[in-house]
Each structure stands twice: as structure tokens, then as C-alpha cells.
Structure 1
């Protein structure tokens, strides 16, 4: 008679592929994105030492919250996969770190979206109703916190719709912010090829900064609706949180490059819109640069176009025959 394997009498261990397996992989990727966050924050403090305290506080708070977020993710993985290895009953209980994780997630996303909301607010009064809608939509993140502060995983299934609502609100907010900035940039076209080309670059840049966050928020929404009994949606949410922080820092660090590009194009072209220069004060320009805000031209009439050109006449005298050739050339200043 063959010896009996004592493991046969134990209850089967549940599969962790779609739960803590997905969570572990997301934590690995989150660690890499966290390293990118540290790099971008270091670059910000090195390049923009003269920024106002508000923006510096936003960056510092983002780094602190991101650190807390990734530490919580690592603790969750260690608790369930190492400390409680081969203890299936521990999988039914929600450890303190997994219940606090949604709070840090919501704070990171709110901080990032708050910065972009501020940009929309600075564009002009016509877009401030959009800001009000976005602020009201942010209240749904309280539902996300309530949905996750539960003693057991079994309670999570009962409030999956609240989690889905929070992810859906994030997607809607991203679409409103991105759409508003794109419309603003599109209305800022001047008809000059060089300026319109720069605006096209800004539009593409605006789309790209919100593209990754939107994709992972949509994936989190879909899996929260389709599979609320596993942690796949939470895995996508980890990556989305890191993308929100990095998109904020990327926008801040891009200000110098975009300002240099605009200044270069301004000096290289021969046309300047004088009315826009007269309308914009130094304080407004500084605020717009700090928050990386695209400026709308006001509807106060057609701007005066000053085209500065230099006429250069060159007399070329051919040696020996006394004939001269007059060549007219245009050299933009």
C-alpha cells in the first residue's frame, strides 16, 4: 500500500495569480516608476529653485505620498506572500496596510489633478464652471476610501460599485482637463506656420501627459466592474497612481524647455503680435509659466502685426568690364 501524502488532507490553496500575483507584479513596476518620480523631483528642485512655495509644497507632498504608497504596497506583498506563506486563512483578512493604501492613492491623484485644475482656472473665467464640476466630481474619491476601509476582503465585493464610481470619476476628470487645454491651445492659433507648429507640439504634449493615466484608470474601472472579487483592478490602480505623480512632475520640468522653444521661435520669426504683448502683464506671464498654462488671446479686436524686415542691396562689380549687377535680398532680423 502506497504511503499517504499528508498534504492531501489539507484544503486546497487558492490560486493567487489574479489576486496577489497581479498585485506583486504591479508593485515591481510601481517601484520602477517610483524611481522615475525621485529622479524627476530631484531635477525639479535643481532647475526651479525660484518657484513659489505652493508648487514646491505640491512636489514635496507628492514625493512623500508616493513613498508612503510604495511602502504600503511592499508591506502588503510581504505580509501575505512571506509572513503568512501557506496560511490561506490570512488571505481572507485585510491587513492594515491594504486598508490604508486607497487613502494614499486618493491623495496622490487629488494632488495631481488639483494642479491641473489650477491650470484650467488660470486660463480664464469662461472655463471656471468646468473647474467647479471637477471639484464636485472629486468628492467621489471619498467613496473610494470608504469602499476599501473594510475588515475583510469579503466586504470589498459589496462595495465594488463605489470603487468603480471613483475610477470612473477619475477618467471623466482627466477627459475634462485634457479637453479644456486642447480647446484652449486650438483657439490660440495665429495663422503663422511656425507658431501653429509649436501649438501642435503643445497639443500632442498635453494629450501624452494624460494618456497613460487615462488608460490605466479605464482599465481599473473595467476590472472593478467585471472582476470585483480579485485584485487586478487594484494592480492597475497602483500603476495609475505612479503615472499621475510622474505626469505632474513631467509638466513642471518641461516649462523651461517649452519657454526656451517659444522664445527661440519668437526671435527667429519676423512677426510679433503687439496687442498680445500689451495685454499681458509681467505677473501674468510669470504665473502662466509657473503653472505651465497656455494663454488664450482675448477677443478685443484684431492684433496689430508688426513685420520687421531689413532690405539689403548688394552691388557686385565684375572686374574688367565695368558692368554692375544689383542683387536684392531679404534678411529677417
Structure 2
């Protein structure tokens, strides 16, 4: 193998992970600024994912620093397993499971499909089992030469993660499609959430798929490590994007509702923490006759626990 496959992938992966981590910090600041009243259960979830994300990036950088600086030129030393590998490996896997568990919960909140939810959690358990089979012996070993023994576990883990991410995105899109409103701007917002579900689900799925392909092509190469370094920031961004969409969506609905000429009956939509309700008020006039009018706008309730 050339130096590019050995060290180039590590260096480029570290740079890409750091760039994405900058975007993660930006989204995290946005979340804590815009949603100070969110329950601590949700804030704790964000803090937990950020902690694992930071740990993973530290492991990424250290895993690149050791062979390129500390042990540069020492062929025997760079073949050994040091603390950065288990650090970023475990942090990545736990972060992926946490984010996917939350997204599966959101899917259940929308669909109430218990069997599909159980199946998705089962796929996650399969991914964890593959990790334990393939990666625990590797990180406990003393040499990277044991990497070939992790082939079966890696295949189980990454195939399971690809399938799980794609099914979650597909499930969210399928259920969002069934939510129809008599108001055009509300339907536009639903489409935006659908596009967001596809984008966030496909990003981690494509990363897992490319990782699997490169690993199967050459388990001894460090090219798969490039994609491993991207897991932590991508999964953290997935969670933060799902949280922060509430602000822009709510503002957009309020703005459009002021100029809406639509009139109709009551409308009540609950999805992804945003509650949209069109109010119909019944009034009695002086003559005792019942009259009704439609409120001019939408009442939007940002319910974090919805």
C-alpha cells in the first residue's frame, strides 16, 4: 500500500471530521439559544451526544497524530493498537445507537406501529451484536493485523446500520405523506420535514455503505477509517437538525398564515414537536343566533415532548 492509503485517509478523515464538528457546534449553540425552555430530558440527550461526539473527534485526532508524529517511521509501533482506536470506535457506536433510538421513537410517535418499531430496534440490536463480535476483539488485541478477523462483525454492523437508517427515513416519509392539510403553507412545511428526513437518513446510510465497500475491498487499508471518522459528527448533526427545524418551521408558518386567504374547518396537525392548529370560534350574537368565524392565523405550539 502507498502512503496515501496508510496515512492520507487518516489525515483527510480528521480534517473532514473537524469541519463537520464546527457545524455541529454551530447547531448546538443555535439549539440552546432558541430552545432554553426545552425539558432537561431533551437537553440531556443533546449534551450526551455532544459528549460522545467530542470524545470521538479526540480519538480521531489522536489516532492520526500517533502514527504521523509520535511513531513516524517506526513500522512496528504503528501496527499496534493504542487508546484512540477504542475511544472513537466505542463513542461512534454508542452515538449511532442513541440517535437511531431517538429517531425510532419519533417514528413510533407518528405511526403508532408497534411491530415496525420493534423490528427497527431489533436491527439496532443486531448492529450492536455485530460490533461486539467484530470490534471488541480488535480493540482488545495488540496489533492492527487482527483487523481481518473483524470482517464478519463489520459486515453485520454496517449492513444493519445502513438498513436501519434507510428504514427510519422511509418510515418517517411514509407517515408524513399521510398528513394532509387544507392549507398550502402547512403542506409545504410537511414536505420540508420529509426532505429533511431523507437527507439526514441518507447521509449516515451512504457513509456506512461506503465504509462497508472500502473495508471489504481491502481490510488492511485505512481508507475505511476516513468514513468512520465522519460517523460522530453526522449522527450528531442528524439529531440537532431534527430539533432545530422546529424554530424555522414555526416562524415560516406564522409568517405565511398572516397572508393566507384560505378558509376552512378545523385543522389539527401534530408532528416532530410542532403542533399546528387552526381555530374555529363559535359566537352568539345579540339575537341569539349562532355564528362562526375562522381565526386569521395558525396557533403553533412547540411541544418538545409531543
Q: Same fold (TM over 0.5)?
A: yes
Alignment partner, residue 95 of structure 2:
108
Quote the offset at 1:269 in angstroms.
4.1
Alignment partner, residue 128 of structure 1:
114
Using the alignment, how far apart are the partners of 1:156 and 1:28 within structure 2? 24
Q: Secondary structure at the match of 1:221?
A: helix
Using the alignment, how far apart are the partners of 2:111 and 2:197 within structure 1? 18
Answer yes or no: is the 8 Å Cα contact 1:120–1:128 preserved in 2.
Answer: no
Any gaps of 5 or more consecutive residues in structure 1?
Answer: 1-13, 296-303, 307-331
Q: Secondary structure at the match of 1:159?
A: helix
Using the alignment, how far apart are the partners of 2:265 and 2:100 within structure 1? 33
Correspondence for 1:47 among 34, 47, 57? 34
Larger mean Cα displacement after TM superposition, 243-252 or 15-24: 15-24
Answer yes or no: is the 8 Å Cα contact 1:271–1:305 preserved in 2.
Answer: no
1:166 and 2:160 correspond: no
Quote the offset at 1:272 in angstroms.
4.1
Alignment partner, residue 78 of structure 1:
65
Quote the offset at 1:154 in angstroms.
1.5
Q: 1:215–1:110: structure 2 CA closer, same or farther, 3 Å change rule?
A: same
Answer yes or no: is the 8 Å Cα contact 1:34–1:242 preserved in 2.
Answer: yes
Q: TM-score, normalised by structure 1?
A: 0.75
Answer yes or no: is the 8 Å Cα contact 1:137–1:173 preserved in 2.
Answer: yes
Answer yes or no: is the 8 Å Cα contact 2:182–2:264 preserved in 1.
Answer: no
Q: How many residues get paired?
A: 277
Answer yes or no: is the 8 Å Cα contact 1:212–1:240 preserved in 2.
Answer: no
Quote the offset at 1:192 in angstroms.
5.1
Q: 1:86–1:46: structure 2 CA closer, same or farther, 3 Å change rule?
A: same
Alignment partner, residue 87 of structure 1:
74
Q: Secondary structure at the match of 1:88?
A: coil
1:19 and 2:6 correspond: yes
- Calculate the aligned-residue CA RMSD, in Å: 2.7
Answer yes or no: is the 8 Å Cα contact 2:57–2:232 preserved in 1.
Answer: no
Alignment partner, residue 138 of structure 1:
124
Q: 1:45–1:194: structure 2 CA closer, same or farther, 3 Å change rule?
A: closer
Using the alignment, how far apart are the partners of 1:100 and 1:110 within structure 2? 16
Answer yes or no: is the 8 Å Cα contact 2:58–2:88 preserved in 1.
Answer: no
Correspondence for 1:203 among 194, 197, 200? 194
Residue correspondence of structure 1 range 296-307 to structure 2 within 5 A: none
Answer yes or no: is the 8 Å Cα contact 1:167–1:221 preserved in 2.
Answer: yes
Q: 1:145–1:272: structure 2 CA closer, same or farther, 3 Å change rule?
A: farther
Quote the offset at 1:249 in angstroms.
0.8
Quote the offset at 1:193 in angstroms.
4.1
Q: 1:230–1:54: structure 2 CA closer, same or farther, 3 Å change rule?
A: same
Q: Which has the larger radius of gyration?
A: 1
Using the alignment, how far apart are the partners of 2:25 and 2:185 within structure 1? 35
Which whole-Å deviations, capped at 9, do the CAs of 1:74-120 have from their partners, x for residues lacking one?
Answer: 11111111111110111321112213321111011112112211111
Quote the offset at 1:257 in angstroms.
1.1
Using the alignment, how far apart are the partners of 1:272 and 1:55 within structure 2? 35
Any gaps of 5 or more consecutive residues in structure 2?
Answer: 281-294, 297-306
Residue correspondence of structure 1 range 219-258 to structure 2 within 5 A: 219-258=210-249
Using the alignment, how far apart are the partners of 1:80 and 1:194 within structure 2? 54
Using the alignment, how far apart are the partners of 1:57 and 1:192 within structure 2? 35
Answer yes or no: is the 8 Å Cα contact 2:183–2:262 preserved in 1.
Answer: no
Q: 1:159–1:273: structure 2 CA closer, same or farther, 3 Å change rule?
A: farther
Q: TM-score, normalised by structure 2?
A: 0.82
